Amino acid sequence: MMPTNVNTPKAELKFPVEWEFRIIVFSDQLDSAKKGLESVFCRFGNFRPLTQGDASKQGKYQVLSTQMTMIDRAMLDAISRELAAVPGVKMIL
């Protein structure tokens, strides 16, 4: 058994990297959240259209996903911050 205090090296991202965003939004705000997310993605360059995934078991949340090429860590961090600030977004994965 491996001790819990051992530091394991983190995998380092090599840029540019094709990044898949999975975004959890409130179902009752899906349309407006989608528009806000598309606006953020457009400011950062080309991306594939958002695809709608499964809804949560009780229908409160909806999954949207897309992919986009990140040129560096700063871009990934900036777009993640802006996506998280879109009204209706619960979580960015």
Q: How far is CA 7 from CA 1, 14, 67, 93, in A?
A: 15, 21, 31, 24
On whether residue 66 sits in a domain, the answer given is yes
Q: In the prediction, which pLDDT does 10 show?
A: 62
| pLDDT, tens digit, 9 for 90 and up, residues 24-48 | 999 999 999 999 999 999 999 877 8
- Say if residue 84's pLDDT is above 90: yes
On whether residue 5 sits in a domain, the answer given is no
Task: For residue 60, give its domain range.
Answer: 17-92
- The domain tally of the chain equals 1
pTM for the complete prediction? 0.84
Taking alpha carbons only, the member of 74, 56, 61 closest to residue 16 is: 74
On whether residue 1 sits in a domain, the answer given is no
The domain spanning residue 27 has which CATH number? 3.30.70.260
On whether residue 83 sits in a domain, the answer given is yes
Residue bearing tokens 């001790």: 3
